């Protein structure tokens, strides 16, 4: 503090001397000149400097130079000099007359985080630097020279953050070592960023955060295939929380593996009881729904159903991976809606249509989203939240619809109290979906129920659910016929 006051006093003395020399009557009177110097020193020390005033102003968030001038009450040249004096403390966002200034926030983790992208051919390139700024935002300094500000973590990182079953398992295993809260729900964005930097080399999508993840990717050998006989041990490890880094969402227990292709593997508990049997049937239904969609030419995940040592496993191909090392950008409807729309309660068809109107996703993607939503409605999928629909980015916008996943009659999922539903409420024929799309979805749903009745992967107790689905479709058929 004394050093600070000394510098301010020296600055004041220099300013006072320059002022005195401008007025001969003061310059020739040593006593008056000294009084002027003392007054300048007192005023400079008592009042915050222009750089301090700018810091205080930018603590509230990025501002344009005009806003700084008006808020602090200084001239444009004075503001420019003060901003220049702040040096690297200040980040510039935008260009020209719209340029904004942001204040770095060293209190939120690292000063800057390099962001890397892995291409479909497995090579890596740097995209830029992510820098925390006051009060809670970030600035992305891109390699092309552009800088973009976000008021929270950038939307394209949302799907990478730990979440769901795997997120809780990750927190249980790694939180203490990272100095983070034990419960995932207590994590802030700063906590998320720390986790992404520490174990972010195999997350959803094609991005890496930080040089540690970059070095791991470069130095790691090609993945070795895992045999399906190892799945029970991997399931036990996942239940203990001992899982490799992944941010795939959802509450179904799961782990990631490489079997010659990159896969996500869901699994049931080993116990033999009605609740576990219902989950076994639901995994069979998810497998069958994907097969029905693919057979009709609707993109859906590849999957394999396995029964090993008392557990059922559903192995699903990852569509954000290409070959051994390649990756593909992936964005959930959750992240796109939050950034570009802000209407989380609307259903898939409405949100996808609005995204298509903005050029964020293709028109074909919006049509595909409507078909999947109609199909899900007809087969009793009561869990079509925005994390269960995603888009892939092959070459920027507009994005393509990702293959369908997590499509199953979740209305039959066990209740939290252990109850096992065997009935479905009437299907709501949402007005945002065209009649032709409902008819197309009805054909797919009919095929789903027909094949379900013939499929040996379902238990005897599932018959009630299959019958309920049949009645559900007959009711929907009558109402779809009235759509014209």
Query: Could you tell me the domains of the chain?
Result: 58-103 (1.10.10.10), 113-132+153-219 (no CATH), 261-481 (no CATH)
Do residues 15 and 43 touch, judged by C-beta distance below 8 A? Answer: no
Burial of 384-407, coded b for 16+ CB within 10 Å and e otherwise, reads bebbbbbbbbeeeebbebbbbbbb
Do residues 61 and 135 touch, judged by C-beta distance below 8 A? Answer: yes
Prediction pTM value: 0.85
Active-site residue (options: 52, 383, 455, 475): 383
Which burial class, exposed, middle or buried, applies to 342 when counting CB atoms under 10 A from its CB (0-12, 13-18, 19+)?
exposed
Distance CA 45, CA 217 (A): 53
* Residue 268 confidence (pLDDT): 96
- pLDDT in tens for each of the 484 residues of the chain? 444 344 444 444 444 444 444 445 544 555 555 555 555 444 444 445 888 899 999 999 999 989 998 888 988 898 889 899 999 999 999 888 789 999 999 888 778 999 999 999 999 999 999 999 999 899 999 999 999 999 999 999 999 998 887 788 888 888 888 899 989 889 988 899 988 998 888 899 999 999 999 999 999 999 999 999 999 999 998 887 765 544 455 567 899 999 999 999 999 999 999 999 999 999 999 999 999 999 999 999 999 999 999 999 999 999 999 999 999 999 999 999 999 999 999 999 999 999 999 999 999 999 999 999 999 999 999 999 999 999 999 778 999 999 999 999 999 999 988 899 999 999 999 999 999 999 999 999 999 999 999 999 999 999 999 999 999 999 999 999 999 7
* Residue 48 confidence (pLDDT): 57
Q: At what angle do helices 435-454 and 363-378 cross, to 10 degrees?
A: 50
Q: What are the Cα distances from residue 194, in Å, to 58, 110, 161, 190, 301?
A: 25, 9, 10, 6, 31
Judge whether 307 counts as a catalytic residue.
no
Beta-strand ranges (E) seen in 143-275 are: 147-150, 207-209, 254-258, 262-267
Beta-strand ranges (E) seen in 199-341 are: 207-209, 254-258, 262-267, 303-308, 311-317, 321-322, 326-327, 329-332
For residue 101, give the 3-state DSSP assignment.
strand
Do residues 210 and 245 touch, judged by C-beta distance below 8 A? Answer: no
Distance CA 329, CA 390 (A): 10
Q: Which residues contact 378 (CB under 8 A, 6 or more apart)?
A: 427, 441, 442, 444, 445, 472, 473, 476
Provide the phi-psi class of 155: left if phi over 0, else alpha when psi is between -120 and 50, else beta. Answer: alpha
Distance CA 442, CA 437 (A): 9
């Amino acid at each position: 503090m004394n050093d600070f006051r000394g510098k301010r006093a020296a600055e004041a003395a220099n300013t006072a001397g320059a002022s005195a020399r401008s007025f001969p009557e003061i310059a020739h009177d040593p006593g008056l000149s000294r009084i002027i110097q003392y007054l300048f020193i007192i005023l400079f020390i008592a009042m915050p400097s222009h750089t301090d005033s700018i810091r205080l102003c930018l603590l509230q968030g990025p501002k344009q130079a005009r806003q700084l001038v008006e808020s602090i009450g200084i001239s444009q040249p004075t503001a420019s000099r003060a901003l220049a004096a702040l040096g690297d403390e200040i980040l510039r966002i935008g260009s020209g007359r719209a340029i904004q200034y942001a204040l770095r926030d060293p209190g939120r983790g690292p000063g800057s985080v390099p962001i890397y992208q892995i291409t479909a051919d497995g090579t890596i390139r740097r995209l830029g630097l992510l820098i925390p700024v006051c009060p809670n935002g970030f600035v992305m300094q891109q390699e092309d020279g552009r800088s973009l500000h976000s008021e929270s973590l950038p939307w394209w990182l949302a799907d990478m953050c730990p979440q769901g079953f795997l997120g809780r398992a990750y927190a249980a295993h790694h939180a203490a070592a990272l100095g983070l809260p034990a419960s995932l729900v207590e994590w802030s964005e700063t906590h998320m960023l720390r986790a992404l930097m520490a174990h972010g080399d195999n997350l959803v999508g094609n991005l890496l955060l930080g040089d540690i993840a970059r070095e791991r990717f470069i130095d790691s050998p090609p993945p070795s295939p895992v045999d399906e006989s190892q799945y029970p041990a991997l399931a036990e490890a996942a239940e203990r929380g001992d899982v490799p880094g992944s941010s795939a969402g959802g509450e179904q227990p799961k782990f990631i593996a490489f079997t010659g292709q990159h896969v996500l593997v869901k699994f049931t508990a080993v116990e033999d009881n009605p609740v576990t049997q219902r989950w076994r049937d639901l995994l069979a239904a998810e497998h069958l729904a994907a097969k029905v969609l693919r057979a009709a030419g609707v993109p859906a995940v590849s999957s394999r159903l396995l029964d090993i040592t008392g557990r059922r496993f559903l192995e699903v191909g990852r569509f954000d991976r290409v070959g051994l090392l390649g990756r593909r950008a992936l964005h959930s409807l959750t992240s796109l809606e939050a950034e570009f729309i802000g209407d989380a309660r609307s259903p898939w068809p409405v949100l996808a249509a609005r995204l298509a109107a903005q050029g964020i996703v293709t028109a074909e993607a919006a049509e595909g989203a409507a078909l999947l939503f109609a199909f899900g409605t007809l087969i009793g999928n009561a869990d079509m939240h925005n994390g269960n629909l995603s888009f892939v980015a092959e070459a920027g916008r507009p994005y393509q619809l990702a293959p369908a996943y997590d499509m199953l009659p979740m209305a039959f999922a066990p209740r939290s109290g252990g109850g096992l539903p065997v009935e479905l409420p009437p299907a709501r024929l949402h007005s945002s979906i065209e009649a032709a799309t409902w008819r197309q979805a009805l054909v797919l749903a009919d095929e789903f129920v027909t094949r379900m009745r013939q499929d040996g992967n379902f238990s005897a107790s599932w018959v009630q659910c299959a019958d309920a689905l049949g009645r559900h479709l007959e009711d929907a058929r009558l109402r779809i016929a009235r759509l014209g």
